[in-house]
Structure 1
Amino acid sequence: MAKPNLHVVLFPFPAHGHISPHLNLAAHLHQYHSNLTVTLVSTPHNIAAIRSSLPPTSRLELHSLPFCPADHGLRTDSESTEDLPRDQFPIFFMAMESLCGAFDRFIAEASKQSTICIISDMFLGWTLDVAHKHNAFHSSLLGMSAFGGAVFLSLVMNLPHVDSESDPFTLPEYPEVVIHHSQLDVVILLATKTDPPMLFVQKQLSTLYKTDALLINTTEYLDPVGIGMLKKTLKLPVIPIGPLVGSSYSQILPSENESKIIDWLDIHPVASVLYISFGSQNSIQKDQMLELALGLEASKRPFIWVIRPPLGFNAKVEFKDEWLPDGFEKRMKEQNRGFFVHRWAPQIAILSHKATGAFLSHCGWNSVLESLNSGVPIIGWPLEGDQPFNATILVKLGLCVEVARGNMETSEVGKEKVADAVEMVMGDNEKGRDMREKTKEISTMLKGAWKDESCSSPKGLAEFLKLIETVMDN
């Protein structure tokens, strides 16, 4: 057990996909180490949303750091990436550093009472200086797969494609890894070595080489190559503690029509429904959306589609029929083949329902873990960041078929390829049966990772807390 006076401070980047793993980690810390004080810090709007969703039994403490978006040229309600158009993401990333003063004061006060361990998001690297100032233990929580994180870190820190005219190309630290330009999102693809936003992100990520330990939302069984890559490069303790999914702490987003969705799933046969979502803050091009819809119709499979306006349109405006084939949504509803969700969906509830047979996903790591944990194979359409490299390891493991790549205007997808991929994964064929069987095996492994104190992730957490004790005693 950890020392009675250890205070763990969690600081996620303000985005749903980053906050959720930190909340799940808090739940496991309380489950296996009940004597810990655990506090999550964020901006006022995020803290209010989390507080309203925590169960009455939660012992998680919350601390709000003052933040004024307007000071950075952002809308006054812009406290997470979900509140922003994508072209303002770089401004928001850099604005987070304005939280440093308030965070420093919080840690200064807390350190008078307890030994402090800061677990921060990798995009909040400036927290390392605060930790050093107050003699606190510092670690980062990597919300990506280990492989995706290692590749993403190498790409951002080195920008190897800038100096290479070849396609594919390799990475400086990992010459065995081959990267295609089609796997790079527009931000990395167009980056130069003098871009202020890229220089800022590089500065934040550079702290991963200096922190005391790295926690990863994965398991050795699922992600051994990536874990080895990070250990080789970072030369510090790398501790897998995944999957961080599905705790009662982490249900912070309201779901649209949850009971209606479950009722709709209830009337469909086992493993017959395709679930489609591109994550909490992204979409695809209008032409891609049309092709996807036509491919779904051709597949003749029932589906639930979390659908948002196409890329380039305001994500908060009402969805327009013109973004889909003529009469498509009406036709699918009348045939009871399509359920359209225009805001948030209860993703875990959908994935864990017996009627759900596959997930057409952007391959964000949270979504991947939620799908695999539920035993649902993946049709991959990675869009940005680490997602293409998450898809790479899933394909190698036989858990995924990649149907398309990216959401730039040059990114192609055809209705025939969509229909073929759906049939390959969900149909009565050898590859589909094999993929479903392998996914069930991975599901059993992931569900067992947190089963009791003898399992891999509680042991990883205990190793991490022992490391804190060792470092702070020296």
Structure 2
Amino acid sequence: MTDQTPVNKNVVQREVAVVAVPFPAQSHLNSLLHLCRRISAHNLAVHYVGTATHVHQVTARVHGCDPSAIANLHFHGFPTSPHPNHSSAAAANSSAKFPSHLLPTFMAILPRFKEPLLALVDELKHKKVVIIFDALMASVVGEIHQSFPNVECYSFQSCNAFFVYSLFWEVAGKMEDLPSDASRIMEELPSMEGCFSIEFQEFLESQRNGGGFQCGTILNTSRVLEGFYFDLLAKLRIFGITPEKHWALGPLSVVFGRANRDSKRLDWLDNQPENSVVFVSFGTTCSLSEEEMREVALGLEMSEVRFIWSLRDADRGDVFEEGVGQVELPVGFEERVRERGVVVREWAPQLEILAHGATGGFLTHCGWNSCLESISMGVPMAAWPMHSDQPRNAALITKVLKIGVGVRNWGRRDEVVGAGVVEESLRRLMGSTEGEEMRRRAKMLARALKQSMEEGGASEREMDSFISHIIT
């Protein structure tokens, strides 16, 4: 980031329009929507595009704001054919948790994006059109960049700098001269083996080949959290992008301030002691097997911690599809723990739960949005990575930031995590001196992140730098 002319947020910018092209998976949809919300606060017209189903999905699930109330944020729901295999669910009983069941939907949607997106850009008569595209949508945007001389394209990485840098560090032969602590952490990284399906790896490669047209890169992270790795990544000049054209604009999905009220859940939390409750959620794309659910349930019961467990089947291609299976727990579990535990089988208000003073820990799959939300609310984590960037997110949480304990060892991912491991991890997180120290560090990071988002803070200056760059 470089110092640039200050942005006057009260002046409507009429010569520049922004078009956001998200990847159609919940975490990607959500983080880019929140980036749009922040950009629109600078009085730029922002157009968020997607299939009609996915636009409905992201707006129905959004936390912390009402995007329909933002006058200069416009949604475009493109019609598509029915989702292929949309009734198939995740393979819960497989040790490989990558959501391959969603890949047919992704592959069917991408080719159908180009025509309506071309038409939208053609309709925009602004002097400049800035396209912010999810890095997994590069092949969709490349043709548009070639067709319109007034278009600038910026890639959006929904993951963190530590993860992205680690990939390039390995490709480069691990030759970077790093400080001893950072070098040790890099050498001990979890393997990428098992993180993606073979089909998705091929898809990733097809998107990388289309990335040479971008003018800059945006990451959903903060220099407060990982400025060291962000600067290392920027120095690599990926696709020829110079360091000053990398922006850390996160945390994006966090809205500090008064939380929305989901009375049934938050009223229960109101009656629990401070920092006493563990929130349990494994994200939107994975399903636990019956054996895994049994071990988690038994571990929660044995640990004697208070908890809220968000227990849902994995998302399908159409999340509004009827007939999604009900997830069943061991017989008698809910009755035995009813004095100290709540099981939520509908969409849970994660951000509001994490923001509540009674929540003191988060048993999580380590999706990056969830990690950012937990850190921003000062809540340490118990890390149970499933796929994709999650094993290395877990390493960032436990080894770099030191605000979490490991539950699922990625090197032993083919084994079922036993109830005893769950119990021990939760006791460490919630009832030990070690856990209290993690909680202290997490709350310190939360304060720093909040300050960075305020006027004059590091993240706000970073956003001003990006806005100044695209309106110049």
- 1:131 is matched with 145
Change (3 A) 1:406 1:97: farther
State how far apart, in whole Å, the 1-side matches of 2:293 and 2:167 are: 27
Q: Write out per-residue CA displacement over residues 428-464 of structure 1, whole angstroms, 9 at most, x where no aligned residue.
A: x331221111001100011112111x22222212222
Alpha-carbon distance in structure 2 between the residues aligned to 1:377 and 1:344: 22
Find the residue that maps to 2:464 and give its secondary structure: helix
2-structure distance, mates of 1:223, 1:210: 27
Letter in 2 for 1:394: I
SS of 1:223's equivalent in the other structure is helix
C-alpha distance in 2 between matches for 1:51 and 1:292: 31
CA drift of 1:152 comes to 5.2
Whole-Å separation in 2 of the counterparts to 1:68 and 1:77? 17
- Distance across 2 between alignment mates of 1:341 and 1:391: 25
Cα distance in 1 for residues equivalent to 2:57 and 2:327: 25
Distance 1:310 1:455 in 2: 38
TM-score scaled to structure 1, two decimals? 0.81
**Which whole-Å CA distance do the structure 1 matches of 2:332 and 2:448 have between them?**
43
Question: What is the letter of the counterpart of residue 456 of structure 1?
Answer: A
CA contact (8 A) 1:38 1:60 kept: yes
Alpha-carbon distance in structure 1 between the residues aligned to 2:441 and 2:189:
27
Is 2:346 the counterpart of 1:343? yes
- 8 Å CA contact retained: 1:351, 1:371: yes
- Alpha-carbon offset, residue 50 of structure 1: 5.2
The CA deviation string for residues 210-257 of structure 1, in whole angstroms up to 9 with x for no partner, is 411111111112112431342133142211011102349xx9xxx9x9
C-alpha contact 1:380 1:404 (8 A) present in aligned 2 = yes
CA contact (8 A) 1:372 1:442 kept: yes
Give SS of 2:80's match. Answer: coil
Secondary structure of the structure 2 residue equivalent to 1:9: strand
Equivalent residue, structure 2, for 1:163: none
Q: Are 1:29 and 2:42 matched, yes or no?
A: no
Sort the Cα spacing of 1:361 and 1:153 in 2 relative to 1 into closer, same or farther, 3 A. farther
Q: Is the 8 A contact 1:146 1:226 kept in 2?
A: yes
1:116 matched to which residue of 2?
129
Aligned to 1:423: 427
The percent of aligned pairs where both chains have the same amino acid is: 29
1:200 and 2:210 correspond = no
Matched-pair contact (CA < 8 Å) for 1:360–1:378: yes
Choose which of 190, 193, 205 in structure 2 pairs with 1:184. Answer: 193
CA contact (8 A) 2:292 2:417 kept: yes
Alpha-carbon distance, 1:365 to partner: 0.8
- The yes-or-no answer on 1:378 pairing with 2:410 is no
Query: Equivalents in 1 of 2:165, 2:189: separation in Å?
Result: 16
Structure 2: runs of 5+ lacking an equivalent:
1-6, 61-65, 90-97, 317-321
Residues 77 and 181 from structure 1, CA distance in 2 versus in 1: closer, same or farther, beyond 3 angstroms? closer
1:81 aligned partner? none
Q: Distance in 2 between matches of 1:381 and 1:410?
A: 13
Question: Cα distance, 1:358 vs. partner?
Answer: 0.3
Q: CA deviation at 1:382?
A: 1.0
Q: What is residue 106 of structure 1 aligned with on the other side? A: 120
Deviating more after overlay: 138-147 vs 281-290: 281-290
**TM-score normalised to the size of structure 2?**
0.82
2:464 paired residue number: 462
State the Cα deviation string for residues 165-207 of structure 1 (Å, max 9, x = none): xxxxx7688995336666533535xx3xxx5x53332121344
Q: Which residue of 2 aligns with 1:97?
A: 111
Structure 1 unaligned blocks of 5 or more: 79-84, 161-169
Distance 1:186 1:242 in 2: 24
CA-CA distance at 1:49 after TM superposition: 4.7
Which amino acid in the other structure matches residue 258 of structure 1?
A: D
Q: Secondary structure at the match of 2:453?
A: coil
CA contact (8 A) 2:190 2:392 kept: no
State the partner residue of 2:161.
Answer: 146
What displacement does 1:147 show?
A: 1.0
Q: Name the amino acid aligned to 1:148.
A: F
* Contact 2:131/2:153 (<8 A) preserved: yes
> How much has 1:16 moved relative to structure 2?
1.8
The 5 A counterparts of 1:440-451 are 440-451=443-454
Cα deviations by residue, 1:104-140 (Å, 9 ceiling, x for unpaired): 1211221x33410000111100213312321211011
Give SS of 1:218's match: coil
C-alpha displacement of 1:58: 4.1
Query: Are 1:213 and 2:226 an aligned pair?
Result: no
On the 8 A contact 2:275/2:361 being kept in 1, the answer is yes
| Amino acid paired to 2:466 | F
Query: 330, 333, 337: which one pairs with 2:335?
Result: 330
Compared CA separation, residues 19 and 328, structure 1 to 2 (3 A): same
